[in-house]
Each structure stands twice: as C-alpha cells, then as structure tokens.
Structure 1
Amino acid sequence: MPVPLPGRAALPALAARVRVTGGSPVRDILAVTARPEVINFAGGLPAPELFDREGVADAFRYALQETPAQALQYATTEGEPVLREQLAARTTARGLPTGADDLLVTTGSQQALSLLATALVDPGDTVLVEAPCYLAALQAFGLAGARIVAVPCDEDGPDPQALAELVVRERPKLFYTVPAFQNPTGRTLSAGRRAALASVAARHGLWIVEDDPYGELRYEGERVDWIAAHPDARDRTVLLGSFSKVMAPGLRLGWLRAPAELRRACAVAKQAADLHTPTVNQLAAARYLTACDLDAHVARVAAVYRERRDALLAGLADALPQGSVWTRPEGGMFVWARLPEAYDTTALLPQVLAQDVAYVPGAPFYAGEPDRATLRLCFVTQTPPEIEEGLRRLGRGLGVLG
C-alpha cells in the first residue's frame, strides 16, 4: 500500500538578519517589466548586443580545449594566478602599483562586498555610506547587521567635513563609496574631493571601501585617480573591480585589492561561501585578456553608450514635470532625476508602468530619510529611438504629456 505523505512541516524561524533585510526593488521591478513591449529604464543591465560574444566564446573554447583538466577542476580560493597577474598589471598601469598576491578574485564584485561585510562588520557596528547609495551595498551591510549611517552629499559627492564629524561621533568600521559614475546618481568625485576624503581617512583612521564597477565607461573628460592611489589612503582603502560592465555580467567575475590581513580574512569568508569562483570562467577571462583587446572593446561600447546617454538627456526636459532637475554623467550607466517636491515617484510608478515604461524610484537608495521625488534612469540598454519612445511614455505616465 502507498504510504501517505506527511503534512508540510512548519518553516523554521528565519534568522533575524534576513527578516529585517528587504529584497531588491530593482529586481522586483525587473520581474514586472520582463514583457518585451516594456521600455525598461529600471535595470542596470549592459546592452547584450554589444557583448563580444565571439571573443568570449573563443576564450571559453580555448580554456576547455587547451586546459580542460584545470578548467573543470577545483581551484584555490584566491583565484587563478594567471588572471590575478593580468588584473594586477591592469591596475598598476592605471596608477596603483599592485601585485597578483594583493588581489582576491570574487564571484562578481557584489560578493566582494558581502565578504567584506562578513570579515569586518559585527551586528551593531556602524557603516557610513553615501546619500543616496548603491542599493545592493545597503543590502550587504544590512544583512551583516550593520547600523548604516548616510554621509551628507552635494553635487560633488560626500562632504569631507561632514564625513570627519561622523567618523568622530560614530566610530564606523568603514566608509563605502562609488567615486566614478556612481550608482544611482551618475556623479563623479573630483580629484580634489577624493584627496579630501583620503585626508579624512588618514587623520581619523577611517577605512574606505572604494567600489569601481563603472570607471572604465568614461565618455568625456579625463580619468581621475582612485582614492586607493592617494598616499593618505593607500594603506586603508579596499578597491573593488568587476568585469560585469565591460566584458559580461554573466561571467560573475570581480576582485578586491586589500592589505594582506584583511584579504586573508575575506578569503576565509569566501571559503565558507563558495570555496572559489568558477575556474573555467577565470581561465576564459584570462585568455580573453591575452587574445583580445579589452580596452578597444570598452571604447566601442562607450561610444554607443554615449549616444544613448545623449538621447536620454536630450528628451528629459519634455518628459519630466517643469522644475525637475537631473544629473549629466560623464560616463557610467545612470541619470538621477529629482521631480518637484509634490511628486512621489514610488506612488507614481504603477501609472508609469501602465504606459509600458519603467524607472526605479529613488527612495530605496537612501539609508536614512529618503527623497521621494527622485528616480533613477538607466540609459545603456535601449537604443536612441527606444529611448525617445520611452520618454514619451514616461511623460504620459507622469501626466506631463497627453
């Protein structure tokens, strides 16, 4: 006789850190906007038609044909030496002397954030962030139990004096920043502002986590040196990098550069998380860097993205309510807009979605009191004609256009 199945067991009580950490509104919106007719300004997705599919495919074929035993085997937690050597050379060429042993390869730079939170943050510790801040960083630090405090910012980035005062008052474990083409605002910190933040770090013993996923996507102006390259901050800055925006996000390849003791602690955390980043992906990326010209590929991508940025900027005045203001990023993927005070972009989103267009409301990007009149627009995934049509739909959804 068949044995009856037992009733469904009650779910064990969830850990407190999961109960108090919300999901990603961006991911939730992407699920809603998966329909092909939706013009999606919400996601931070690179344009898939610009991926170097042949170059990446050739790199994987090489890894699997020439080094199959290595490519399909377990690897060291720190990462494949050949890839770390190439990453170190690229970092050194950009003004920050780096050896292969200074780097830990991670499964996307998001994992680097998670490892740092695990290695550094105890429940109740204070972490300082920008206002507004990259949403997934808020999740990573929140999941670790951090008390997250926002540093006041102006159009040039975090206010150094306000940062210094918060360091003295809050005694934080670290300060997290995206200095180049920030997510969500698109702003870039000047060399002077970076030097001022480095000086605060040196005077007050502050650790800085400098996240740079977008820095190579510059469309105009001159590159600004990393905070990590500043003499005042060199021994107390963790630099994060990623291939997601310049090669392909599906590879899930990132890295962190950190002093030896902290890097070892992150490696221990990574061993507990996933042992190591997939070997075949690392070897394929290393082959790509050897056989292809990544810088030339990035330049081609940046040229297309610049056209798309310009198309978005050209149409915003007609799509947004009178009195709105927005950023003009020199690179990256995002424009940040603020509507007049009476507008709530979270409340308005359903009627905008009804027009088959999407944005991300600004409120989730704030650690403290949110500015509910703000929104983020990603311009890189859509073509200029799609952007033009998307802005018409956005204007109708906001009640600006009939």
Structure 2
Amino acid sequence: MNHRYSERICSTQKSFIREILKVTADPEIISFAGGLPNPNLIDDEGIQNAAAALLKEDGKTALQYSTTEGHPPLREWIAERYRTRYGLSVDADQILITNGSQQCLDLVGKVYLDKGDSVVVEDPGYLGAIQSFSMFQPEFLSVSLNEEGPDLEQLADVLNTSSPKFMYGIPNSQNPSGITYSENRRRDLAAILCESDVPFIEDDAYGELQFDGVARRPVSAYMDGEGVLTGSFSKIFSPGMRMGWVCAPAEVMDKVLIAKQASDLHSNYLSQRILSKYLETNDINAHIAVINEEYRKRAEWMVSRMEECFPDDVSFTRPTGGMFVWLTLPEGVSSTRLFDAALKQKVAILPGTPFYADGGGESTARINFSNSDEEQIMTGIKIVADVLEEIRITPQ
C-alpha cells in the first residue's frame, strides 16, 4: 500500500520529551528530564471521593455527551478566578474547556495559521508549542529572553520587518527557562503588540505555581480584553485527566469553537464533572499552597546542590516558581553529549536544543526539580557535575 502522507506530518518532528520519557521509564534512573508534577502531591483520595459522589448523584448525565464549550459551572469557576485573582473582566462564555492546555495550541494553530505565516516565539521556547505550530508549517521568528522577559528591542525589529499572525509566550515560570516576566515588561510588551496589532497567545500553565503565592497579572490584562489566555489544571490537580482551557474574546472564541467541534466535539465530560465536584468540595487554594511549598523546597535543594557541585563557568537560573532550572554550560560543551554520558550513569537531563525553533542551544539544558525527592536531587546533580567534568577533559 502506498501511504501518501501529508507534507505537514512529514515536516513535523517527534516530541523530544516524549521520546526521552520512554527511556527514563526505568525506575533505576533519576529523571530530571520530564515536566511531571510530583505524584505524591496529587490528591487521589479527594478525586476518588469527588468521583464517587458525582456518579451517585448524577452519574447518567456525567457519562453522556455534552456541549463543546464545556461544563458551565466549571467554566464559571475559571472566569470567577480570573476576576478575583487577576482583576480581569471575564465571562464564562469566554471560556472553552480543552483536553489539556496542549490542545489549546493546536486549536490556536488551526484558527490563525496558514502555511508560510510567521509566528513570534520566545528563544528558548516551549518545545510542545513549537511542535504543535509546526504542523501548520509557519515561519518562526525568535525573540531572546532576558531576566525580565522578552527582549523588546529584538521584538520591535521583528515587528518592523514582518507581519506575524501572533506572538506566543509563557510569562510565568517560562518553560524551559523558568523566567517570570517583570510587571514593567508585561506592560511594555502589551503596548508594543497592541500598537502593531499582533495578538498575544499567553500560555499560563504555571501561573498558580509561584512560590511566594503572589498572583501576577497576565499580559492580557494590559491589552484591553484582546489577549488570548490558555490555562491548565494539570499542574495543580491531575495531569492524567487532561483538563485545560482557552479564554478568548467573543470573536476569537467563535473560531476556536469551530476548530474544537471539528477536532473532538467536546473534552472528556466525566473528567470535567469530577473536577467541578472536587472544586465544590475541597479547598483548592490550600492544596496549591502545599504544592508551592514543596516545589520551593525542591528548587532550593537543586540550586544549592548546583552551587556546591558545578564549576563557576556553569550558570543556572534560580526559579521563583514552576518546575525547571535552566542550565547554561561553558561554550563548546555539548548538552547532548552530557545527556548521553549522564544517562549511562542512570541520570537523565533534557538537552536544550529542541527548545530553539531556529536551531542552537547546544550548550543549554533543562533540569526538572518537581518530580524528585531530596536524595535524588543531591545524588543526581552530583552525578551530572562529575560527568560534566569528565566530558570536558575527554575528547569526543
């Protein structure tokens, strides 16, 4: 049989993370490679109780088809959180429930992108977004990050010479760098994008994971209601239930709904109902506070161990939220080679190259701290440091 595949699927690479996760499934491996929430912080008992109560009270309805937009009480909960946490004027009609925030990226691509269109992305940027948008065969325009957020001079140059369909970014605990945009950078970014009439697709998957508990206003808050926000329950509730959402202006939401209907009719309704019941009967804020405290400790353990073990010419971020530390190796030292050598010693890291849409990043790596305990962090980082020293003095 001659399977004549589409150009888009042939030009899209496999997910580097998903392929590595197959390798690191070995329980003997200390894995800093994924972006997994810590399983000990998933409230499985609370979810079990919510599921049992739901099925007893309204099981037949919860197991039926539903509307594309999603369960109304869940959408209202999200809208109310935007109003109370961020001071945004958001209505439940602006919320669409998705299969994780990853589906949001696919829907955005379907709504905005034709082959050859340009998209502004962070450099480094989230590789899941790069892969998702690649299906639509755009041109990626990369803008570097500094400690406050995107380099606005670079962005201005990009916008002066091109007409991108949108800019995509992660302002809170950016994946992979861990950088959180400053408030001033958010305001200035919004002003530049509004002046250029370029939408901002704001991925807020890590917005609740801020170690100081402070709610940072989205870039969309400074865009007169024209921003498109995406969110996720994966980091604070359950990644396996795949619950995310899009929050968008009415005109955009009309298009997103069409794309969603064509994709899968609606997201898992049983999961929506269980999540909604859980939010009714549990203190999610207290649960998030516990997660943040545990992740704060793990981040501090990792940074402290890196300070102790790594040489001075290795730099790394000091996260204030999220799940990741971003490592920059000395010039000429390959993170791919470091990955290969460390894996032989039963420790997995994630090389930085897949996070660069235009290539590069060979001397960078992403290190996850959320899914490891103190002993694994202490042992694993020392092994990475030792392997790093070995490959620096050993020719390829």
Q: Identify the TM-score tier after normalising by the shorter chain.
A: over 0.9
Match of 1:241 in 2: 231
Distance in 2 between residues matched to 1:393 and 1:161, nearest whole Å: 40
1:163 partnered with 2:155: yes
How far is the alpha carbon of 1:81 from its aligned partner? 0.7
Match of 1:151 in 2: 143
Match of 2:197 in 1: 205
Deviations 1:333-359, CA, capped at 9 Å, x for gaps:
000010100201012221110010011
3-state DSSP class of the match of 1:352? helix
More deviation, 55-64/379-388: 55-64
Q: Provide TM-score, normalisation by structure 2.
A: 0.96
1:173 partnered with 2:196: no
Deviations 1:140-182, CA, capped at 9 Å, x for gaps:
1111111111013222221122212212211000000100000
Distance in 1 between residues matched to 2:117 and 2:369, nearest whole Å: 36
3-state DSSP class of the match of 1:264? helix
Q: Provide TM-score, normalisation by structure 1.
A: 0.95
Distance in 1 between residues matched to 2:28 and 2:160, nearest whole Å: 51
Matched residue type, 1:169? T
Match of 1:19 in 2: 10
Match of 1:5 in 2: none
1:75 partnered with 2:66: yes
Query: Does the CA contact (< 8 Å) of 1:70 and 1:279 recur in 2?
Result: no
3-state DSSP class of the match of 1:385? helix
Gaps of 5+ in 1: 1-8
Deviations 1:64-111, CA, capped at 9 Å, x for gaps:
111112111111001111111111111111121211101111110100
Query: Does the CA contact (< 8 Å) of 1:321 and 1:339 recur in 2?
Result: no
Match of 1:281 in 2: 271
3-state DSSP class of the match of 2:77? helix
How far is the alpha carbon of 1:397 from its aligned partner? 2.2
Match of 1:335 in 2: 325
Distance in 1 between residues matched to 2:338 and 2:5, nearest whole Å: 33
3-state DSSP class of the match of 1:79? coil
1:217 partnered with 2:209: yes
Distance in 2 between residues matched to 1:259 and 1:218, nearest whole Å: 26
3-state DSSP class of the match of 2:107? helix
Matched residue type, 1:367? A
Match of 1:111 in 2: 103
Deviations 1:5-31, CA, capped at 9 Å, x for gaps:
xxxx34x12111111110111111111
Match of 1:3 in 2: none
1:130 partnered with 2:122: yes
Query: Does the CA contact (< 8 Å) of 1:176 and 1:210 recur in 2?
Result: yes
Aligned residue among 358, 362, 387 for 1:368: 358
3-state DSSP class of the match of 2:65? coil
More deviation, 38-47/96-105: 96-105
Matched residue type, 2:116? G
Distance in 1 between residues matched to 2:54 and 2:138, nearest whole Å: 41
Deviations 1:267-294, CA, capped at 9 Å, x for gaps:
1111111110011101111111110011
Distance in 2 between residues matched to 1:159 and 1:339, nearest whole Å: 22
Query: Does the CA contact (< 8 Å) of 1:360 and 1:376 recur in 2?
Result: yes
3-state DSSP class of the match of 1:55? helix
How far is the alpha carbon of 1:400 from its aligned partner? 5.5
Match of 1:184 in 2: 176
Percent identical pairs in the alignment equals: 41
Distance in 2 between residues matched to 1:246 and 1:365, nearest whole Å: 24
Query: Does the CA contact (< 8 Å) of 2:104 and 2:230 recur in 1?
Result: yes
Count of residues paired in the alignment: 391
How far is the alpha carbon of 1:303 from its aligned partner? 0.8
Query: Does the CA contact (< 8 Å) of 1:321 and 1:398 recur in 2?
Result: no
Query: Does the CA contact (< 8 Å) of 1:41 and 1:379 recur in 2?
Result: yes
Query: Does the CA contact (< 8 Å) of 2:324 and 2:366 recur in 1?
Result: yes
How far is the alpha carbon of 1:206 from its aligned partner? 1.1
Distance in 2 between residues matched to 1:31 and 1:21, nearest whole Å: 19
